[in-house]
């Protein structure tokens, strides 16, 4: 991998990780369109550490409060009813599905799941689901001629059941094209949460999953096939760009609809289908030799 490739891929990772458009799909497609080798799941997992560091810094107060309260709740019963302590447990509960499926489906993640036809399918299908979820949220918030606005849930109403559902939605992002934030935010909106609450929990839930995935891939990356210089450079780029995207996205969702992302996902998915169907792009283009 060249330094130029690592810069572009790091930029793509930072731009797309937190938007509901699938960073893994865009890394895969960027490599395919440019004629490069697939950066592979190890590169993706390691560069995601950079974007998760951006989450740790942006939400540092929330995370510090959650970690502190959670540890106190282990030794002091009075803290177990604290909202931040409960959020710590809910993040752990929500991380179970992706942990189990990530290990169980490792061979599929590194093989069949990287077929561009599947990526295109997920871009379209999850785009439609996100659009429907966003429409329902907008209808609840605005009410209508014959309806009163519906009060949507906040994270203070999050329980174990909803936490697990969020976790299952996040696990769907193991398939390129789904989008971690897109799936968890869609799940949250369909369960009746506000856009801001769904996005905030999505970002918090991603921290342990991504850091654990990155650490796991670091073990396998020590086989000598990883270009460490470009990979670290891409991770730094992803961190810088990712932080800016989080700040923008959290402001965007308070007043705007997700429909621009829905339209983009569907058009991109259909374009990939067309390119593969007409032989312009191979369904296995840019797959790693290894």
Burial class (CB in 10 A: 0-12, 13-18, 19+), 198: buried
What six digits make up the tokens of 227?
Answer: 């270009």
Side-chain half-sphere CA neighbours of 58 within 13 A: 24
Q: Which of 174-183, 208-217, 245-254 has the lowest average pLDDT?
A: 208-217
Beta bridge mates, 147: 144
**Mean per-residue pLDDT for 129-145?**
86
Q: What is d(CA 51, CA 27) in angstroms, rounded to the nearest whole number?
A: 14
Q: What is the pLDDT of residues 165-191, one digit of tens each?
A: 999 999 998 898 999 999 999 999 999
pLDDT band at 114 (very low <50, low <70, confident <90, very high): confident
**Tokens representing residue 134 in the block:** 């966003």
CA dihedral 180, 215, 30, 109 (to 10 degrees): -70
In this structure, of 150-154, 165-169, 269-273, the range with the lowest mean pLDDT score is 150-154
More confident residue, 111 or 202: 202
Q: Give the per-residue pLDDT at 171.
A: 93
Tens digits of per-residue pLDDT, 14-32?
A: 999 999 999 888 988 898 8
Q: What percent of the chain has pLDDT over 70?
A: 92
Q: What is the CA radius of gyration of the chain?
A: 19
The mean pLDDT of 129-140, rounded to a whole number, is 93
Residues 87, 19, 58, CA angle at the centre, nearest 5°? 50
CA–CA gap between residue 128 and residue 260 (Å, rounded)? 12
pLDDT value of position 161:
95
If pLDDT is split at 50, 70 and 90, which confidence band does 289 have? very low
Query: What is the average per-residue pLDDT within 101-118?
Result: 82
8 A C-beta contact, residue 269 and residue 276? no
Q: How far is CA 73 from CA 68, 79, 89, in A?
A: 9, 5, 10
Tell me the backbone φ, ψ of residue 133, rounded to 5 degrees. -65, -40
Which one, of 4, 9, 42, 22, lies nearest residue 185 by Cα?
22
pLDDT of residue 60 exceeding 60: yes
Going by pLDDT thresholds of 50, 70 and 90, the confidence category of residue 103 is confident
Here the tokens at position 157 are 């109403």
Is 247's pLDDT higher than 80? Answer: yes
Maximum Cα–Cα distance for the chain, whole Å? Answer: 65
Please tell me which residue, 144 or 139, carries the higher pLDDT value: 139
| Distance of alpha carbon 245 from alpha carbon 265, whole angstroms | 18
């Amino acid at each position: 991998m060249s330094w130029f490739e690592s810069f572009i891929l790091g930029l793509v990772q930072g731009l797309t990780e937190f938007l509901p458009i699938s960073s893994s799909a865009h890394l895969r497609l960027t490599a395919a369109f440019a004629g490069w080798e697939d950066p592979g799941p190890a590169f993706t997992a390691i560069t995601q550490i950079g974007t998760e560091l951006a989450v740790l810094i942006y939400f540092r107060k929330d995370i510090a409060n959650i970690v502190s309260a959670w540890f106190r709740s282990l030794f002091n019963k009075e803290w177990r009813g604290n909202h931040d302590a409960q959020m710590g447990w809910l993040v752990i509960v929500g991380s179970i599905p992706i942990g189990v499926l990530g290990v169980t489906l490792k061979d599929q993640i590194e093989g069949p799941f990287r077929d561009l036809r599947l990526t295109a399918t997920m871009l379209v299908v999850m785009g439609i689901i996100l659009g429907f979820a966003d429409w329902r949220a907008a209808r609840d918030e605005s009410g209508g001629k014959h309806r009163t606005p519906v009060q949507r849930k906040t994270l203070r109403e999050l329980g174990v059941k909803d936490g697990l559902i969020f976790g299952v939605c996040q696990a769907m992002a193991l398939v390129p094209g789904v989008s971690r934030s897109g799936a968890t935010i869609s799940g949250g909106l369909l369960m009746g949460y506000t856009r801001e609450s769904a996005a905030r929990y999505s970002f918090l839930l991603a921290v342990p999953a991504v850091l654990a995935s990155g650490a796991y891939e670091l073990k396998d990356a020590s086989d000598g096939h990883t270009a460490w210089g470009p990979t670290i450079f891409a991770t730094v780029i992803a961190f810088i760009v990712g932080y800016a995207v989080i700040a923008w996205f959290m402001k965007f969702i308070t007043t705007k609809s997700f429909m621009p992302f829905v339209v983009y996902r569907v058009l991109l998915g259909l374009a990939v289908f067309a390119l593969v169907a007409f032989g312009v792009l191979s369904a296995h283009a840019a797959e790693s030799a290894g």
